[in-house]
A and B are shown apart, each in its own frame.
Chain A
Amino acid sequence: MAAIGTRVLSVLLFLSLSNLASSLYEDQVGLMDWHQKYIGKVKHAVFHTQKAGRKRVVVSTEQNVIASLDLRHGDIYWRHVLGADDAIDGIDIALGKYVITLSSGGSILRAWNLPDGQLVWESILKGSNPSKIMLIVPTSFRVDRENLIFAFAGGCLHAVSSIDGEIIWRKDFAAKSLEVQQVIQAPAEETVRVLGYVESSQFHAYEINPRKGDEIKHVNVDFPGGLSADTVLVSDDVLVALDATRSVLLTILFQDGEINFRKTQILSLVDDSHGVVEILPCKLADMFALKTNKFLVLAKVMDGGVVELVEKIKEAAALSDAVSLSESQQAIALARHENQKLHIIIKPVHDWNIDLLKETIKIDNQRGLVHKVFINNYVRTDRSYGFRALIVMEDHSLLLIQQGEIVWCREDGLASVIDVTTSELPVEKDGVSVSKVEQSLFEWLKGHILKLKGTLMLASPEDVAAIQNMRLKSSEKSKMTRDHNGFRKLLIVLTGSGKVFALHTGDGRIVWSLLVQSLRKSEKCDYPTGLRIYPWQVPHHHAMDENPSVLVVGRCGPSDDAPGLLSFIDAYKGEELDSLVPIHSIVQVIPLPFTDSTEQRLHLLVDANQRAHLYPRSPKALTIFRSEISNIYWYSVEADNGIIRGHVSKGSCSHDEDEYCFDPKDLWSVVLPAESEKIVASETHKINEVVHTQAKAIADQDVMYKYISKNLLFLATTAPKGSGEIGSATPEESWLVVYLIDTITGRILHRMTHQGSQAPVHAVFSENWVVYHYFNLRAHRYEMSVVEIYDQSRADNKDVLKLVVGKHNLTSPVSLYSRPEVTAKSQSYFFTHSVKAITVTSTAKGITSKQLLIGTIGDQVLALDKRYLDPRRTVNPTQAEKEEGMIPLTDSLPIIPQSYVTHALKVEGLRGIVTVPAKLESTTLVFTYGVDLFFTRLAPSRTYDSLTEDFSYALLLITIAALIVAIFVTWIWSERKDLQEKWR
């Protein structure tokens, strides 16, 4: 009976599960997914703490985000991610209710409502020449003013009404060939001053009527020595500048329509300065800061322009702008590092010997140096001054420090993820105490009874809340050990700040973080940037005791031929094991399918001269590599020249002694005509992709063989005119050509032209198909096309008799040098949205059907079943094709709201989607990054191999109990009947 029960159960279970859609119920949000919001590295910050209500700070960041943060907890009140080219040049608060931003090189001025972030007005400033960009919002408390904002950009000064954004007047200084350095609107005065140079040798000062924009006064003075563009305003009428040689300081005083200046030799301030001297752009009242190669020099300007040295700071330090405490008192903050501690010292400007505040904070070593400090003051209950300091660290994190403590901290380095890899967690060890198990068993039961109540709609609101809480806080998903299904992993992300984070897939918390020393600025490496991250050592089997490690590849500078750098990081401890800085340039990293005895994967790093360098540099690895050298091929795409080349290793490098270096030999090259084709995209398979079967059963018991080669390259080219933005080319002058190229032989397997189409092209390559997204100019819509390639040489293997007799060629060796008989099928469909990223789900064995994951322009991720992109789709599929699951052909791809993976969330600034297979075949893990992070678990063919999260065990238990009771009842019953029968 029980056996029937389970059998029936399993059958029914399958039936019921197959009815479930892959979409989500609203109360399932947060069960499998997590979403984290970030803003990026803060550039400017403006506090808004005057009024009683909510205290907030408005920030703009290097990721082009403006955000209003809660000053108490660091949460985001509102946030806007501007376009990629819309970098923010300045922010301020006007009228106490509008946030003013100047962006796009000073051409767009916007006002946002401070409480809710609603755009209030937008003005376009037209400038003629590139120039310094300044935003001046007068801090006037007088009501009768017209509330003008002054924005200087493009060589013009604009006066804009802060109420509606109307441009009141505009004055062009570029026409007078004036290089404007500073614009001042002194609160006490009625005029606006514009200071600048003409031809770097004349100093001009204009006084302008702020209401009408007409010139009141104009004076100028010659400086024969020449001036550099480094200037800083010390007060409303004193400017400090450097001369052209950067060895003389000029203090320029402009009072009562006269200009006086005074020269001070820098050597008289700092006697041992070398290298380039810079003036820091900090607004320190009556003081200024100089940066030399050794020191940070603080100097004060006395009466008559005399410069006096205040302090020389040797260690790394950062300065804030001055804040005014009262009419006459101003204070600045200085943050300096000393022995892994951070000192924050706030001093009044008029007397440098007094400390208004001195706080020492122990700061996490992994945060690096202080990059920026912003301070804000408040009056304590005892009428003394209190300060809060907002600190931006080297790792882009944002900290608020108040009363000697870190009030909150935001890990905003995670807004600039560059690359992602994963690592398995350690295996669970023995030693789980029994009492814990019992307790958890009781809780487990209690939980399930609650869930049952939920299912039967008997739960009270408190119960519902408890159920939801229990589901979200399941300790199971955030354990630090490997699980049976492979859902728990470490996501190891490399960020733009040079910090590597390990995130837990269960709840997204940071397990460890490491500021990679070799990715920090050093003498050996000026501008280090991270490029990629790869799994380096994945221990299993015999090397189980070792921790896995990852390889970080970077380079010292923006160009391709800059020296490279490598760093090896322990994936469990988060420690740098080894680093190589600087090494040869790195243009390509090829993980090879071989590992050495310690499970370190062999990697081939190709430099700018196409020489290949083998890592790890061990004799063992070299032996393995030498035995496989004839099978290792690689290719390079020179997008600018339109050339694709195939390479093979010729042997050790001839020019140096390094035995891990191999010279390339060109095998083939494809040269595209530069006047008609420009490379816009190239795509290959994922390295770790698993293909389950080559055969594809189609309708009528027929079989097609997929042409599966790891060495295929998808290449898209457009006409040079069509590589620009949409709208720049007409349909007649643009076309898109796609190629499938075998990278071993350089043979073009398939070539297709889409007339009237243009870039941008996003492509994804998997198994035997490639899907790409482009713009069709004729229809003026986006299109997605699929190309599938099938192997014709195996098409004859359908005959069972031949297979039995052994006359098939299934086991015959495949050589890429023999000409493959392939056929390609293709189909195109319209797709509504612009696309930012596109990828495909990947599972452990490759059995589960695939879904395309499309990052749309709205920063959402759409899951689209691959069956919609099947080139065999027809308008009227036959009965057999319908049974196969073919969808009738439609001209556009459906957008089903329930299949948005990100449901009602947005991954702001979406840049990439990564899929990682779980151990459970049905499931794939999806990590999406941009300014935000989003992680979820997907089952493209539903979870056919496991029970769903909301499976009610309690209902099952009750059913079993009911069945057992029924068994006994019927047993007794039958016994009684038996007895009756016997008496008869």
Chain B
Amino acid sequence: MAPIARSLPALSAGFFFLILTVGAAVVSSGPADGFTINGRVRIPGAGAFGLPGKISDAKVTLNGGKRITFLRPDGYFSFHNISAGTHLIEVAAIGYFFSPVRVDVSARNPGKVQAALTENRRVLNELVLEPLREEQYYEIREPFSIMSLVKSPMGLMVGFMLIVVFLMPKLVENMDPEEMRRAQEEMRSQGVPSLSNLLPGAARSN
């Protein structure tokens, strides 16, 4: 579950709102030619954060790729010759997460539109989509700190060794000299090098 936790900072950067406005939403031009969906994608502050996404690279897709259109400089887009019914609009822009939008085009009331975000079922009255998140595709490298070095395997190794070197003799000193001598004699009879005299714990773990 670590990756989810990591995506939270991106979410909490909540001052970043993406707004999709379906402006003068549906304009009827006669049932023979179908309807037109006009909408707007607004990415406030795009580029200001040095983000990879650019408005010229954003794509708007209708009904899972049947039709693709692009954004004009002001963020407006339109789909023409749309049949009445329920449609799905998706916005793909690198660096941003957009919810797909459900758009109902009614044949009975031309000009009436109903739009809702499918992710959170929010109905768009003023047809504003928010707040969706900015997508951070890379892990952030944590800045260098002594702790991270200490925590690294090598740091732990050195730390462990230091403990053994400096604390073990203290422990040994606190031992009963009689017992100590006996243990040493035992060791000597086995021909263990003198180094291990100081490190009984290590010798045992070997």
B137 within 8 A of A: yes
Instruction: Annotate A951-974 by CB proximity to B: 1 below 8 A, 0 otherwise.
Output: 000011011001100110011001
Asked whether B64 lies within 8 Å of A897 as measured between CB atoms, the reply is: no
| CB-CB under 8 A for A978 and B194, given A83-B67, A122-B72, A857-B64 | yes
CB distance from A964 to the nearest CB of B (A): 11
Asked whether B3 lies within 8 Å of A898 as measured between CB atoms, the reply is: yes
Instruction: Annotate B86-99 by CB proximity to A: 1 below 8 A, 0 otherwise.
Output: 11101011110101
Asked whether A833 lies within 8 Å of B10 as measured between CB atoms, the reply is: no
Q: Give the number of residues in B that approach A within 8 Å (Cβ atoms).
A: 70
A112-120, A232-240, A702-710: which one contacts chain B? A112-120
**For residue B3, which residue of chain A has the nearest CB?**
A896
Residues of A within 8 A of B141 (CB): 25-27
Residues of B within 8 A of A858 (CB): 59, 90, 92-94
Asked whether A726 lies within 8 Å of B64 as measured between CB atoms, the reply is: yes
Residues of B within 8 A of A775 (CB): 64, 88
What separation, in Å, do the CA atoms of A887 and B4 have in the docked complex?
12
Residues of B within 8 A of A833 (CB): 90, 100
Residues of A within 8 A of B160 (CB): 8
**For residue A117, which residue of chain B has the nearest CB?**
B56
Residues of A within 8 A of B195 (CB): 967, 970-971, 974
Asked whether A760 lies within 8 Å of B59 as measured between CB atoms, the reply is: no
CB distance from B29 to the nearest CB of A (A): 9
B7 within 8 A of A: yes
Asked whether A903 lies within 8 Å of B137 as measured between CB atoms, the reply is: yes
A16-24, A204-212, A559-567: which one contacts chain B? A16-24
Residues of B within 8 A of A906 (CB): 57, 94
B65 within 8 A of A: yes
CB distance from B33 to the nearest CB of A (A): 6
A78 is contacted by which of B56, B81, B161 (Cβ under 8 Å)? B56
Asked whether B70 lies within 8 Å of A119 as measured between CB atoms, the reply is: yes
B123 within 8 A of A: no
What separation, in Å, do the CA atoms of A896 and B3 have in the docked complex?
7
Asked whether A966 lies within 8 Å of B161 as measured between CB atoms, the reply is: yes
Query: Interface size for chain A: under 10, 10 to 19, 20 to 34, or 35 or more residues?
Result: 35 or more
A86 within 8 A of B: yes
B197 is contacted by which of A118, A730, A966, A974 (Cβ under 8 Å)? A974
Residues of A within 8 A of B66 (CB): 83, 85, 725-726
CB distance from B96 to the nearest CB of A (A): 10
What separation, in Å, do the CA atoms of A858 and B73 have in the docked complex?
20
Instruction: Annotate A692-718 by CB proximity to B: 1 below 8 A, 0 otherwise.
Output: 000000000000000000000000000
Q: Which of B11-45 contact A (CB under 8 A)?
A: 33
What separation, in Å, do the CA atoms of A899 and B205 have in the docked complex?
42
CB distance from B160 to the nearest CB of A (A): 6
Q: Which of B44-98 contact A (CB under 8 A)?
A: 52, 55-57, 59, 61, 63-73, 78, 80-81, 83, 85-88, 90, 92-95, 97
CB distance from B164 to the nearest CB of A (A): 9
Asked whether A898 lies within 8 Å of B94 as measured between CB atoms, the reply is: no
B118 within 8 A of A: yes
**For residue A955, which residue of chain B has the nearest CB?**
B154
Asked whether B65 lies within 8 Å of A120 as measured between CB atoms, the reply is: no
| CB-CB under 8 A for A80 and B70, given A21-B139, A119-B56, A966-B165 | yes
Residues of B within 8 A of A25 (CB): 138-139, 141
| CB-CB under 8 A for A24 and B94, given A13-B153, A959-B154, A974-B197 | no
**For residue A111, which residue of chain B has the nearest CB?**
B72
What separation, in Å, do the CA atoms of A142 and B193 have in the docked complex?
100
B109 within 8 A of A: no
Residues of A within 8 A of B59 (CB): 858
What separation, in Å, do the CA atoms of A887 and B65 have in the docked complex?
32
Residues of B within 8 A of A962 (CB): 158
What separation, in Å, do the CA atoms of A974 and B187 have in the docked complex?
15
Residues of B within 8 A of A126 (CB): 33
B87 is contacted by which of A727, A894, A955 (Cβ under 8 Å)? A727
Asked whether A725 lies within 8 Å of B63 as measured between CB atoms, the reply is: yes
A306 within 8 A of B: no
**For residue B134, which residue of chain A has the nearest CB?**
A897
A687 within 8 A of B: no
Residues of A within 8 A of B81 (CB): 124
| CB-CB under 8 A for A780 and B154, given A3-B206, A727-B63 | no
Asked whether B72 lies within 8 Å of A834 as measured between CB atoms, the reply is: no
Residues of B within 8 A of A5 (CB): 157
A900 within 8 A of B: yes
**For residue A29, which residue of chain B has the nearest CB?**
B138
B88 is contacted by which of A27, A726, A859, A860 (Cβ under 8 Å)? A726
Asked whether B6 lies within 8 Å of A898 as measured between CB atoms, the reply is: yes
| CB-CB under 8 A for A859 and B92, given A898-B3, A966-B165 | yes
B119 within 8 A of A: yes
A1 within 8 A of B: yes
Residues of A within 8 A of B161 (CB): 963, 966
What separation, in Å, do the CA atoms of A871 and B118 have in the docked complex?
24
Task: With a 10 A CB-CB cut-off, give which of B152, B157, B202 has the most chain A CB atoms.
Answer: B157
Residues of A within 8 A of B68 (CB): 82-83, 86
CB distance from A105 to the nearest CB of B (A): 12
A781 within 8 A of B: yes
Asked whether B65 lies within 8 Å of A84 as measured between CB atoms, the reply is: yes
Asked whether B157 lies within 8 Å of A23 as measured between CB atoms, the reply is: no
Residues of A within 8 A of B80 (CB): 124
A215 within 8 A of B: no
Asked whether B52 lies within 8 Å of A116 as measured between CB atoms, the reply is: no
Asked whether B202 lies within 8 Å of A1 as measured between CB atoms, the reply is: yes
What separation, in Å, do the CA atoms of A13 and B153 have in the docked complex?
6
Task: With a 10 A CB-CB cut-off, give which of A13, A22, A906, A959 has the most chain B CB atoms.
Answer: A959
**For residue A19, which residue of chain B has the nearest CB?**
B2
B167 within 8 A of A: no
CB distance from B139 to the nearest CB of A (A): 5
- Selected A-B contacts with CB under 8 Å, 26 pairs: A8-B160, A12-B153, A12-B156, A19-B2, A21-B139, A22-B3, A23-B6, A24-B139, A83-B65, A124-B81, A455-B144, A457-B143, A726-B86, A727-B88, A728-B85, A834-B65, A857-B61, A857-B64, A858-B59, A898-B137, A899-B3, A904-B94, A955-B152, A966-B165, A970-B165, A974-B197
Q: Top 7 closest A-B pairs, CB basis?
A: A858-B92, A897-B135, A83-B68, A12-B153, A834-B64, A959-B154, A457-B144
Extra inter-chain contacts (16) besides given A457-B144, A780-B118, CB under 8 Å: A4-B205, A5-B157, A23-B138, A85-B66, A85-B67, A456-B144, A782-B100, A832-B118, A857-B65, A858-B92, A858-B93, A860-B94, A896-B3, A896-B6, A898-B7, A970-B195
B residues near A (Cβ < 8 Å) are 1-4, 6-7, 10, 33, 52, 55-57, 59, 61, 63-73, 78, 80-81, 83, 85-88, 90, 92-95, 97, 99-100, 102, 118-119, 135-139, 141, 143-144, 149, 151-154, 156-158, 160-161, 165, 194-195, 197-198, 202, 205-206
A residues near B (Cβ < 8 Å) are 1, 3-5, 8-9, 12-13, 15-16, 19, 21-27, 29, 78, 80, 82-86, 110, 116-122, 124, 126, 455-457, 725-728, 730, 760, 775, 777, 779-782, 832-834, 836, 856-860, 887, 892, 894-900, 903-904, 906, 955-956, 958-959, 962-963, 966-967, 970-971, 974-975, 977-978
